Each structure stands twice: as structure tokens, then as C-alpha cells.
């Protein structure tokens, strides 16, 4: 089972990368607890920024970018995390996903998340990220996670779940959807194999 997290944070260290790691750890832990072997990969889009820009101009990805795109499209589950700039996802985040074939994420389980300075940007999850992946026909889990600066280390209050609880819930939802999809995608018997078996069962006088 392959789980890929895409982090579009621009700094080092990055709250965006930290959130991506926490979400991947949560989903991976849920899958492992369910008996699944999990391979996790985190893609730092910042490291591919020049390659992304060149690909948009030339149409040809260099090997590191091609490998990252293949990892995203080949994953059983995807976590996509962006910082918020001007009330939306970052340009680097959008440019990376612009390079993915529009049909490559069809039906893929996706968890969307974002980081920002204040809680007033949290609607970016619903007005920007969820529509983007709906356009790509991915299956986005119900719980999206936004982490403002004040959320780190906060346990929440009587009205709002704290960040750790939201991370656990979103990770569990992604893991459950990945496990369900894995069962659905188990290969059925090849039609030719079935035909061969039926022919071998025939008895001729």
C-alpha cells in the first residue's frame, strides 16, 4: 500500500511539511493497525520548483519531477498540503498539480489540508482545495485539516476539536477509504483463465 504526501511549503522548517508528516503518520498508523503494509513518501514541491516551471514551458519533466508525478499518480492514497497565499492555495502547489493528467487521479482517495497564519483562512479548504480535486475526480475524504499558527499545541475547546484530534480523524478516514479501494481493486480472474478452466472441465467421449 503506497501513501504519498505532497507538501508545498516554501520554508525550512515548514509548518506545511510538519502537517503533511503528521497526517501521513496518522493514516499510515491506521493502515498498519489494520494489517496493511504501508510505504510512505513525502514530496517537497519546493525542491522541484525550477523543474515545475521548466515543465510548464517546455512540456518535458526532468527525471526527479517525473518520478514525483509518477509517485502521486501511482499512490493508493494521497495527502495534499499547501500554505495559504492570498486566500487560496500557493501558486507552486497549483502548478505542480497542473502537470498531472486530468484523469490520473480519478477515484483516488485524497486528504486535503492547509496551513496559514490565522484561522480566518480556513475556508480555503472548501472554496479552493476541495473543488480542485473534485475537478480531478478524486475522492476527497470528509475531514479536511487546516492548521493556523495558534492551533499547534492546542487541545481545542468545548466547541472545536483540537488539531491532534482533527489529524487523527482525517487520517482514519483516508486509511479506511484506501483499504476499501484496495479490496475493490483486487484483480478478478482473467476471462481467458476462466474459459481455459471451463474447457479443461469438459469430458469428451
Residue 205 has a pLDDT of: 46
C-alpha span between 3 and 40 (Å, rounded): 5
Residue 141, C-beta contacts closer than 8 angstroms, at least 6 positions apart: 109, 110, 111, 170, 173, 174, 177
Residue 204 has a pLDDT of: 47
In terms of C-beta density within 10 A (0-12 exposed, 13-18 middle, 19 or more buried), how is residue 3 classed? buried
All cell numbers assigned to 95: 502548478
CB 27 within 8 A of CB 111: yes
In this predicted structure, the answer to whether residue 94 has a pLDDT above a threshold of 80 is yes
All cell numbers assigned to 37: 503494509
C-alpha span between 143 and 16 (Å, rounded): 17
All cell numbers assigned to 158: 468545548
Phi first, then psi: give them for residue 6, nearest 5 degrees: -110, 120
C-alpha span between 138 and 100 (Å, rounded): 12
All cell numbers assigned to 80: 495534499
Into how many domains does the chain fold?
A: 1
Q: What pTM did the predictor assign? A: 0.86
Over residues 167-175, mean pLDDT? 97
Over residues 59-70, mean pLDDT? 96
Residue 160 has a pLDDT of: 63
pLDDT band at 169 (very low <50, low <70, confident <90, very high): very high
Q: What is the CATH number of the domain that holds 162?
A: 3.40.50.360
All cell numbers assigned to 32: 498498519
Residue 16 has a pLDDT of: 96
In this predicted structure, the answer to whether residue 186 has a pLDDT above a threshold of 80 is no
Helix/strand/coil percent split, the chain, to 5: 50, 20, 30
Strand partners, 110: 78, 140
Question: What phi-psi label fits residue 9: left (phi over 0), alpha (psi between -120 and 50 degrees) or beta?
Answer: beta
C-alpha span between 189 and 34 (Å, rounded): 26
Range of the domain at 79: 2-201
Amino acid at each position: 500500500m503506497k501513501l504519498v504526501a505532497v507538501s508545498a511549503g516554501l520554508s525550512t522548517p515548514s509548518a506545511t511539511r510538519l502537517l503533511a508528516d503528521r497526517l501521513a503518520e496518522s493514516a499510515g498508523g491506521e493502515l498498519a493497525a489494520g494489517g496493511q503494509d504501508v510505504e510512505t513518501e513525502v514530496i517537497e514541491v519546493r525542491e522541484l520548483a525550477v523543474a515545475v516551471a521548466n515543465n510548464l514551458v517546455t512540456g518535458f519533466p526532468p527525471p526527479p519531477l517525473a518520478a514525483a508525478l509518477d509517485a502521486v499518480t501511482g499512490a493508493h492514497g494521497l495527502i495534499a498540503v499547501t500554505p495559504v497565499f492570498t486566500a487560496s492555495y500557493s501558486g507552486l502547489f497549483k502548478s505542480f498539480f497542473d502537470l498531472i493528467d486530468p484523469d490520473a487521479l480519478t477515484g483516488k482517495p485524497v486528504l486535503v489540508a492547509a496551513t496559514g497564519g490565522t484561522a480566518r483562512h480556513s475556508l480555503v479548504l472548501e472554496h479552493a482545495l476541495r473543488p480542485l480535486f473534485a475537478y480531478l475526480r478524486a475522492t476527497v475524504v470528509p475531514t479536511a485539516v487546516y492548521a493556523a499558527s495558534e492551533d499547534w499545541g492546542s487541545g481545542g475547546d468545548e466547541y472545536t476539536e483540537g488539531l491532534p484530534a482533527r489529524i487523527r480523524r482525517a487520517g482514519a478516514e483516508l486509511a479506511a477509504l484506501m483499504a476499501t479501494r484496495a479490496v475493490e481493486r483486487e484483480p478478478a480472474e482473467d476471462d481467458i483463465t476462466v474459459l481455459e478452466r471451463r474447457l479443461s472441465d469438459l469430458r469428451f467421449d
